[in-house]
């Protein structure tokens, strides 16, 4: 009798998942919802804000939530975060997350809604993530009486290096949440396709900056100076030896220097040089060893060239990101919901983890979490630029899929939890 009840619940759950996902996509494609999402995204895109500076973005989000009659936390969670609630306001709780910070890039895409802020742009789709989560909120609010628990909407600051997710976790805002879902829009896959994998998805990541100090002087007489540029060049080369000569060739690791600054005149040896970069690895042991060796190499090479050095790993400002690891059970849930989703053409399996990083991992350290990619490439159009490019564009036609999937994953997960309790 018990097994019959379980099978019956499973059939009901799958039918419910299919029917709500179909309805949600139709609702998300309705011009009242789609055009509204596009308008919000373009407004945010025109006014990009960097990590922990998203005050105006937060105001836009709160204003739209107010119009929808969706309550949210008023206290300052992670400075600019907005945490909203739809449903019974009681257990169980499931969360949906959208990051909302921009990048320090000058936009080079000429269009009507180009960034109005010099040196800042949404070059990674976070403006689209906010719009889609608001779209999901609008849909879920229409079905609030059917929700078997509470959907928590997490509008998160400072994903791009600032670890906004870490601050939200530390605030206790998600203490009672049973699971959390997050997505990232991508040109890697066509519209109507999604992709993810169970287990390891993205690497651990950290930043560092070093100042190498010598003694400045006239470039015609280097013997009277202590050249920090020469020392810094040797540091950069030696750091690459950590990967080619110390790391296991079968274990992926990365050290990349992205910043090298020193001097402003052709005929002057400067007093100091600063370099900065990122390091990444999958395992915690390899990551921490890499951190240790980076400091040793910088200090040692500077000393060889008669220079002094300081190394900063930004432990507070730019906390190390853990590895992004998808929960196995949530992977099954994602496959079931996305596979039954009317309009999703293909659910792709990402074959191997990436050396990219995602602060969604901070949630996954304390809550079962699942992160997936949403395709936005139109095969009949030009290939879209990848993230962190000044030529980055978003195909807004993907918005209904993201909003509807968000809504479907959360509502069906709560139904699944409710059936477990009743079973």
Helix 126-142 vs helix 2-29: angle between axes, to the nearest 10 degrees? 120
Question: Containing H/E element for 258?
Answer: strand 253-261
Q: Which residue, 223, 221, 222, 227, is CA-closest to 270?
A: 227
CA gap 123, 103 in Å, rounded: 6
- Token pair recorded at residue 207: 């930043």
CA gap 88, 151 in Å, rounded: 9
Q: Is the dihedral of CA 80, 100, 200, 204 positive or negative?
A: negative
List b or e across 44-82, with b for residues whose CB sees 16 or more CB atoms inside 10 angstroms.
bbbbbbbbbbbeebbebbbebbeeeebebeeeebbbbbb
Annotated ligand binding at 122? The verdict is no
Question: Containing H/E element for 99?
Answer: strand 93-99
CA gap 117, 54 in Å, rounded: 13
CA gap 386, 99 in Å, rounded: 17
- Token pair recorded at residue 218: 């006239």
CA gyration radius, the chain: 24
Asked if residues 169 and 252 have their Cβ atoms less than 8 Å apart, the reply is no
Asked if residues 114 and 392 have their Cβ atoms less than 8 Å apart, the reply is no
Alpha-carbon distances, residue 205 vs 13, 277, 314, 409 (angstroms)? 38, 11, 12, 28
Annotated ligand binding at 9? The verdict is no
Annotated ligand binding at 342? The verdict is no
Annotated ligand binding at 307? The verdict is no
- Residues at the binding site are 124, 126, 160, 184, 388
Binding-site residue positions for Mn(2+):
124, 126, 160, 184, 388
């Amino acid at each position: 009798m018990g097994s019959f009840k379980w099978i019956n619940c499973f059939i009901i759950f799958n039918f419910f998942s299919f029917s709500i996902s179909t309805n949600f996509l139709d609702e998300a494609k309705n011009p009242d919802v789609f055009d509204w999402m596009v308008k919000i995204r373009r407004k945010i895109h025109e006014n990009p804000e960097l990590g922990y500076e998203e005050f105006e973005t937060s105001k836009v989000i709160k204003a739209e939530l107010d119009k929808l009659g969706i309550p949210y936390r008023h206290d300052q969670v992670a400075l600019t975060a907005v945490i909203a609630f739809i449903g019974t306001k009681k257990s169980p709780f499931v969360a949906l997350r959208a990051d909302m910070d921009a990048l320090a890039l000058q936009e080079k895409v000429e269009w009507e809604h180009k960034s109005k802020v010099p040196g800042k742009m949404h070059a990674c789709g976070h403006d689209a993530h906010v719009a889609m989560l608001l779209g999901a909120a609008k849909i879920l609010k229409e079905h609030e009486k059917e929700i078997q628990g509470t959907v928590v909407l997490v509008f998160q600051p400072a994903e791009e290096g600032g670890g906004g997710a870490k601050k939200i976790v530390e605030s206790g805002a998600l203490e009672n949440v049973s699971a959390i879902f997050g997505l990232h829009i991508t040109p890697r896959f066509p519209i109507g396709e999604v992709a993810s994998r169970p287990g390891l998805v993205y690497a651990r990541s950290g930043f560092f900056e070093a100042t190498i100090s010598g003694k400045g002087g006239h470039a015609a007489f280097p013997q009277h100076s202590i050249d920090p540029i020469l020392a810094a060049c040797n540091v950069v080369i030696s750091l690459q030896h950590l990967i080619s000569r110390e790391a296991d060739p079968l274990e992926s690791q990365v050290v990349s220097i992205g910043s090298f600054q020193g001097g402003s005149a052709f005929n002057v040896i400067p007093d100091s040089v600063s370099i900065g970069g990122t390091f990444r690895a999958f395992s915690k042991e390899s990551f921490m060893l890499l951190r240790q060796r980076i400091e040793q190499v910088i200090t040692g090479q500077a000393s060889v060239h008669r220079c002094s050095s300081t190394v900063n790993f930004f432990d507070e400002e730019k906390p190390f990101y853990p590895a992004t690891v998808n929960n196995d059970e949530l992977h099954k849930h994602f496959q079931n919901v996305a596979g039954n989703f009317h309009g999703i053409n293909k659910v792709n399996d990402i074959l191997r983890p990436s050396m990219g990083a995602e602060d969604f991992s901070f949630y996954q350290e304390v809550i079962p979490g699942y992160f997936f990619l949403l395709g936005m490439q139109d095969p009949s159009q030009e290939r879209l630029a990848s993230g962190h490019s000044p030529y980055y564009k978003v195909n807004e036609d993907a918005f209904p899929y993201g909003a509807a999937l968000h809504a479907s994953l959360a509502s069906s997960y709560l139904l699944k939890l409710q059936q477990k309790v009743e079973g």
